[in-house]
């Protein structure tokens, strides 16, 4: 099989990680007739939209099953979304979508909450440079990726809306690309040089856990 097109569980890994009753539903649909369905995706609390990793994953999973999804995103990345408000609509064959819900929501919800928390931290302390030091508290590399991505989304929103310094780096090489757009690696060591170059009145940095 060709290399999977995105991060997250591969088609071979996904079945053992999803809710079993969704797998049962898929088998029933495959045996008795498929249909097109539309899922309305929402969160039960206010969030900041950080859905790209989730959308990339479910799109890649559908492609691996020789299917194409129609995804209607109702918000741009970084948008505030109220509790219970539809985030996006996903339309496709029921047999393709039904057992992808578990991992899709795992990749959506935590990143959106991290983005929400990061944004609020940045606007409350606009003259502070933050380091995303969550990696050692995450339950593995996949969670670390989601948290770093969420922090970068919340930070970029704060930078755009208020001019805050926001998050300037992180702890691990694997997630450094989310920070300081245009630079390949931006982590703890690189931040020391950056801090020497910023205005002294704003030379404050916090190593932050925002998950």
Number of domains the chain contains: 2
Same structural domain, 18 and 109: yes
Taking only the tens place, the pLDDT of each residue in 157-190 is 999 999 999 998 888 888 988 986 444 444 555 5
**Per-residue confidence (pLDDT) for residue 183, from 0 to 100:** 47
CB contact set of 182 (below 8 Å; sequence gap of 6+): none
Q: Do 103 and 139 lie in a common domain? A: no
| 108 shares a domain with 44 | yes
- Domain assignment present for 5: no
CATH at 21: 3.90.1170.20
C-beta of residue 89 within 8 angstroms of C-beta of residue 39: yes
Count, residues in the chain: 211
Task: Among 79, 113, 147, give the residue marking a domain's end.
Answer: 113
Name the pTM for this structure: 0.86
Q: What angle do CA 72, 150, 182 make, to 5 degrees?
A: 95
Taking residues 134-138, report their average pLDDT: 87
Which of 113, 134, 158 is a domain's end point? 113
Q: 102 and 121 in one domain? A: no
Among 60-74, 147-161, 169-183, 193-207, the minimum mean pLDDT is found in 193-207
Domain identity same for 93 and 39? yes
How close are the terminal C-alpha atoms of the chain, in Å? 35
Q: 19 near 100, Cβ under 8 Å?
A: no
Structure tokens at 136: 């050692």
Q: How far is residue 114 CA from its own chain's centroid?
A: 8
pLDDT in tens, 110-131: 999 999 999 999 999 999 888 8
Same domain? 98 vs 38:
yes
Is residue 69 situated within a structural domain? yes
Residue-number span of the structural domain to which 121 is assigned: 117-208
Handedness of CA 84, 85, 87, 90 (dihedral sign): positive
CA 204 – CA 122 distance, rounded (Å): 13
């Amino acid at each position: 099989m060709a290399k999977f097109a995105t991060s997250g569980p591969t088609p071979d890994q996904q079945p053992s990680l999803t809710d079993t009753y969704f797998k049962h539903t898929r088998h029933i649909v495959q045996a008795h007739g498929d249909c097109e369905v539309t899922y309305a995706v929402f969160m039960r609390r206010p969030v900041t939209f950080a859905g790209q990793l989730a959308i990339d994953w479910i799109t890649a999973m559908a492609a691996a099953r020789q299917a194409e999804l129609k995804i209607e995103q109702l918000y741009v990345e970084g948008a505030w979304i109220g509790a219970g408000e539809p985030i996006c609509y996903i339309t496709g064959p029921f047999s393709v979508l039904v057992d992808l819900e578990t991992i899709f929501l795992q990749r959506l919800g935590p990143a959106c909450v991290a983005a929400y928390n990061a944004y609020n931290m940045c606007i409350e302390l606009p003259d502070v440079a933050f380091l995303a030091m969550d990696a050692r508290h995450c339950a593995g590399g996949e969670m670390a990726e989601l948290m770093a991505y969420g922090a970068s989304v919340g930070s970029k929103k704060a930078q755009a809306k208020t001019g805050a310094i926001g998050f300037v780096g992180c702890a691990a090489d694997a997630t450094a690309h989310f920070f300081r757009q245009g630079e390949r690696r931006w982590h703890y060591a690189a931040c020391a040089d950056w801090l020497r170059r910023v205005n002294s009145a704003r030379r404050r940095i916090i190593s932050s856990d925002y998950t």
